[in-house]
Amino acid sequence: MISRETLTEAIDAELNVSAFKDYTVNGLQIEGSETVTRVLSGVTACQALLDEAVAWQADAVLVHHGYFWKNEPVAITGMKQRRVSTLLKNGINLWAYHLPLDAHVTMGNNACLGRRLGLQAERCLDGELGKGLLWFGRPEEPLDSDMLASRVESTLGRRPTVVQGHTGEIERIAWCTGGAQDMLASAAEAGAQAFISGEISERTTHMAREMGVTYISAGHHATERDGVRELGEWIAARFGVEHRFVDIDNPA
């Protein structure tokens, strides 16, 4: 059993939260019990995840996508009321880490995705490693667009949407988990022959073709499962709390 305050400070420090400008609050978003023994993690603090936390008698929920996004309606009504009241009624703390958890050098979503796909990270195109979100590097062995797409599919267990803008071998590759399709232009400018992110827009197809970059839309949810799970494991190993990751299926 460890205090909520100790854990919050430790996670905030490890993820260097104060260094990020974000469109949401990073850290403790909803205050629950003062001590923590069981942490349930998941990608998004949706009702299904909260129900799992209640059933498992967790005292904290740890997510990548929490609440209180800039420009969302502020009133706590409807769906939001049900979520918040589930947490408050059951004394469950809610920790949410957005950009800091995308950027972390070892536990971040981008670090995890690169590792799992066998990509060698060299640098970030939008800031130093540890702060940047757009990662850039090389495949560990030579591959082409088809091989990369099938590696993404077998690694993430989801068939990606692929726009083959580049033919031949891929030697330079960029990636950013989540909804970063509009970073394609920056990736192309830096010389990437392939770019992997989570989502795709109609315009992305034309950009990829005309910029000569293979674009792989690998799933927002699918590319962002690993960071929060790794962070949960880190908390468990360091502070001796129980941790369980729950994957609430999401095709997006």
Residue number of the CB closest to Zn ion reads: 178
Q: Which is nearer to Zn ion, 10 or 246 (CB)?
A: 246
* Alpha carbons 112 and 36: distance in angstroms, whole number: 26
Structure-block tokens of residue 81: 């009321």
Total site size for Zn ion, rule CB under 5 A = 2
* Alpha carbons 67 and 154: distance in angstroms, whole number: 32
Q: Which is nearer to Zn ion, 224 or 226 (CB)?
A: 224
Report the site for Zn ion in 177-206 (rule: CB under 5 A).
178
Q: Which is nearer to Zn ion, 169 or 247 (CB)?
A: 247
Query: What is the closest distance, in whole angstroms, from the C-beta atom of residue 3 to Zn ion in the complex?
Result: 29
Length, in residues, of the chain: 252
Q: Which is nearer to Zn ion, 150 or 250 (CB)?
A: 250
Cα dihedral 149, 104, 71, 225 sign = positive
Structure-block tokens of residue 204: 């992305």
Measured between alpha carbons, how far is residue 87 from residues 41, 95, 112, 119 in Å? 14, 11, 29, 39
Q: Does 227 bind Zn ion (CB under 5 A)?
A: no
Query: What is the closest distance, in whole angstroms, from the C-beta atom of residue 228 to Zn ion in the complex?
Result: 10
- Binding segment for Zn ion (CB under 5 A), chosen from 158-166, 181-189, 211-219, 224-232, is 224-232
Looking only at the bridges linking them, the beta strands covering 2-3 and 35-36 are antiparallel
Q: Which is nearer to Zn ion, 224 or 230 (CB)?
A: 224
> Which residues contact residue 187 at a Cβ distance below 8 angstroms, ignoring those fewer than 6 apart?
125, 134, 136, 174, 195, 213
Cβ-contact 139, 78 below 8 angstroms = no
Draw the binding track, 139-178, toward Zn ion (x: CB under 5 A; -: no contact): ---------------------------------------x
Query: What is the closest distance, in whole angstroms, from the C-beta atom of residue 168 to Zn ion in the complex?
Result: 32
Query: What is the closest distance, in whole angstroms, from the C-beta atom of residue 219 to Zn ion in the complex?
Result: 11
- Binding segment for Zn ion (CB under 5 A), chosen from 22-30, 120-128, 182-190, 222-230, is 222-230
Query: What is the closest distance, in whole angstroms, from the C-beta atom of residue 224 to Zn ion in the complex?
Result: 5
CB burial class (10 A; 0-12, 13-18, 19+) of residue 168?
Answer: exposed
Q: Which is nearer to Zn ion, 200 or 241 (CB)?
A: 200
- Chain positions contacting Zn ion, by CB under 5 A: 178, 224
